Amino acid sequence: MTGMDTTENIVIKAVCISAKTGMRKKNVGTALLIENYGIKNDAHANSTTHRQVSLLAMESIQKMKDMGLKVGPGDFAENLTTEGVNLLQIPIGSKIKVGKEIILEVTQHGKECHTPCAIYYHSGTCVFPTEGIFVRIVKGGVINAGDNISKMEQ
């Protein structure tokens, strides 16, 4: 995985939502991102938090698959699964563009898990707390699996 300073193909692999918090998300393939709120119909959407949307790299999910787990996009409760970028190399405060119109601002790297998830109990580890990131939606729009991601100049 690399940072976003290259011309590699960086894409959204999955767009995931859930009706309730604390559960795996389902890949719906397309969704509406609402400015300063989150993903329409997702339990984690909230205008009062800087953690409106979560991202996790497919490369991180692959680490868990390599440990023998049968997991995929959405299983770590991430909203957007990416491919081709080390998300932690994107500095907090950076803006990233998705597709033609969506603008996201990186607000947090990782998180503290107060209660270990089912994945943690099964494998002894979970990748989202150390490899996932959160963003807020600066400019919304329709997001689709397959959309390109690029870093915006500050």
The domains of the chain, with CATH numbers, are 11-151 (2.40.33.20)
* pTM of the model as a whole: 0.88
| Residue with the larger pLDDT of the pair 3 and 142 | 142
Q: At residue 93, does pLDDT exceed 90?
A: yes
pLDDT in tens, 49-75: 899 999 999 999 999 899 888 889 998
pLDDT in tens, 81-90: 999 999 999 9
81 closest CA partner among 89, 91, 71: 71
101 closest CA partner among 53, 60, 45, 150: 150
Give Cα 139 distance to the centre of its chain.
16
Least confident of 18-27, 56-65, 88-97, 118-127: 118-127
Strand order in the sheet with 26-27: 26-27, 11-17, 80-83, 53-57, 133-139, 102-109, 95-98, 149-151
